[in-house]
Structure 1
Amino acid sequence: MSIAGRAGSAPEFPELGFYGLAGHSPEPRDLLDEVRSAERLGLGAVFLSERFDTKDAAALAGAAAAVSETIGIGTAATNPHTRHPLVTATMATTLHRLSGGRYAFGLGRGFDALFDLMGLPRVTSARLEDSAGILRALWNGDAVAGHDGPAGSFPYLRRISDGSDRIPILAVALGDRTLELAGRIADGVVLHTFFADATVARAVKIVRDAADAAGRDPASVRIWSVIATVEDSIAEDRQLRMLAGRLATYLQGYGDVLIRANDWDPAVLRRFRDDPVVREHHGAFDASGNPDVLRHIRTLLPDEWLAASATGSARTCATRIADQFDAGADSVILHGATPTELAPVVGAWREIRKPDSVSRLPANPGWSAR
């Protein structure tokens, strides 16, 4: 059963996406208005990260599908071992058919320390690859019998529903090994926020080289750059949270990997971690409501690091979007801002956009133009 193309008319900007409920929103219902606003604005896709609080990826994606007609929907990402593979396959099949083929399923490694606390195994490349193979077999309508591999041991798995469903897999990738894996097995790749332009270009090359080495068409893998987008009209305190707070949160969780990816100075990361305010702070900095703390955190972060974003006037932000395409990305996720906050940037993008290079992209964020 293939239902791709049953959705409504194409979005105006299929090359642009945003993250729904960016940050630490406690109100999942806000997503409904965000998706409606994004669709009116012409954005091509909404991406939904998963947190273990009020951001269940399946529930959010279902809500997004219910209130929209044209926008693509992607989980970016969930982890392969927090649901049984048959439950995951069912989730994706339901969302695929519910959305009329606009849904892409995203996989990511997640946080080792969190899984240690939860009593779950850490996610390896082998587990990601094995999980993708199981899911594709189930979506194709095949049975998985006597499976014993990195994803687990399963005597017999098969969907009850008839037919075959072609559902793209998105891989969320930060380190080189995951980028290489994504090039081998994924239909689309979501890069990481605060990648410098040179890092985006290097990541694109890793993905496409890996796809080519695996005998795939490198251009068939759709690569999404992710750029924190903070336009001047946004209030100062919120700007601090969206930029300094967000980057500091990443440095808390997996700073070493991000530093290596960008070839940034590890001594700066050590000074950040040794700072008394950082050491004494509990929780994520991008969830902090204390402007004084965020202002202090800003002094610890080099301008070069924060420049891996889109800030300033709407026109300047639109130019930074163009920079991502120049670095080799196929599409761009405008991260950290709501569709309402992104409206001036999208308006400026309309003025400098080159339609011939992006208008053929499908709304489903996991499929390329090929």
Structure 2
Amino acid sequence: MRLGITMFATDRALAVHELAREAEARGFGSFYVPEHTHIPVSRATPPPTGVDTLPEEYARTPDPFVALAAAAAVTERILLGTGVCLPAQREPIVTAKAIATLDQISGGRFVLGIGYGWNREEAADHGVEWSTRRERVRENVLAMRELWEKEEAGFKGEFVQFEPSWSWPKPQRVPILVGGAPGPKLFAAIAEYADGWIPIGGAGIKDALPKLREACEAQGRETARIVPFGTLPTAKKLDYYASLGVDEVVLRLPSAGRDEVLPVLDEYANTYL
């Protein structure tokens, strides 16, 4: 089972490229960073973690594609991904180009983890009507796949339209993982246009497996990958995931500087790798 790491990257934490290099040197197989373009001061949308005050780190995230490009330049093997990117808030033609370029720089090591978002005000500033965000994510992903996979790519949807066009570079096949709580809408989306599910924290996987498998079979697929994300590890927990057929688990690191992050990384490496 591959073990990866994630950190809530900020301008005050250990730099993304430095952490990627340290993680690869210790034998970790993947590294993911989140995305928020900005955080409106209004707290009309409550924090997703249930706390009263939104942690400052949400407002301090670097652009994930720029940061991961720097990480790609100083690593050779580790997979580099978003955990998660917010496609509803991104223009798909430009985003497809950025991802294709990052995939080329990294030698095909990029993984696109996506989500639907939780902050209504943030989405509104991008012109996204909240009730349409799932369909926007779907169209943006499908449109990007057209640009990645076809020499002449066009798309006509409700939210995305462009004429048959040329766009290079073409990436190797970009794996897409969707984050979110288990449910029929999420599993139908994964089955249609993604490769796997990112259950944040990893709870509820066993009970969700039959429904995920059912959704995939409805699309003519056997199943989808499951990547427990942001896990605080124990040997028992990792053994349990392995018994469910999980082949990758992403462990959580504190959002902090080198002196705080590297001892935790060492502990994980010495205990679980």
Instruction: Tell whether 2:1 aligns with 1:78.
Output: no
Q: Distance in 1 between matches of 2:248 and 2:198?
A: 9
Cα distance per residue 1:85-144 (max 9 Å; x no partner): 110110110011100011112221012423355243225433222222111110013434
2:168 is paired with a residue of what secondary structure?
A: coil
Counterpart residue number, 2:40: none
Cα distance per residue 1:170-206 (max 9 Å; x no partner): 212224121332133211321112x43xx12123333
Which has the larger Rg?
1
Distance change (3 Å), C-alpha of 1:169 and 1:133: same
Cα contact 2:100–2:169 (8 A) shared by 1:
no
Q: Compute the RMSD of aligned alpha carbons.
A: 2.4
Unaligned runs of 5+ in 2: 38-59, 255-260
The amino acid that maps onto 2:8 is G
Instruction: Tell whether 2:101 aligns with 1:94.
Output: yes
Q: Distance in 2 between matches of 1:64 and 1:163?
A: 20
Q: Distance in 2 between matches of 1:212 and 1:334?
A: 30
Q: Distance in 2 between matches of 1:54 and 1:335?
A: 16
Cα contact 2:9–2:61 (8 A) shared by 1:
no
2:136 is paired with a residue of what secondary structure?
A: helix
TM-score, normalisation: structure 2: 0.78
The amino acid that maps onto 1:115 is E
2:89 is paired with a residue of what secondary structure?
A: coil
Cα contact 1:141–1:164 (8 A) shared by 2:
no
The amino acid that maps onto 2:15 is D
Cα distance per residue 1:283-320 (max 9 Å; x no partner): xxxxxxxxxxxxxxxxxxxxxxxxxxx4xxxxxx2332
Query: How many residues in Structure 1 have an aligned counterpart in Structure 2?
Result: 242
Instruction: Return the match for 1:189 from 197, 201, 208.
Output: 197
Cα contact 1:318–1:345 (8 A) shared by 2:
no
Distance change (3 Å), C-alpha of 1:92 and 1:209: same
Unaligned runs of 5+ in 1: 1-13, 230-309, 311-316, 351-370
Cα contact 1:228–1:336 (8 A) shared by 2:
no
Counterpart residue number, 1:347: 270
TM-score, normalisation: structure 1: 0.59
Counterpart residue number, 1:9: none
| CA positional deviation for 1:146 | 5.8
**Structure richer in helix, relative to its length:** 1
The amino acid that maps onto 2:264 is E
The amino acid that maps onto 2:87 is P
Distance change (3 Å), C-alpha of 1:342 and 1:116: closer
The amino acid that maps onto 2:210 is K
Counterpart residue number, 2:236: 319
| CA positional deviation for 1:330 | 2.5
Distance change (3 Å), C-alpha of 1:174 and 1:129: same
Cα contact 1:28–1:54 (8 A) shared by 2:
no
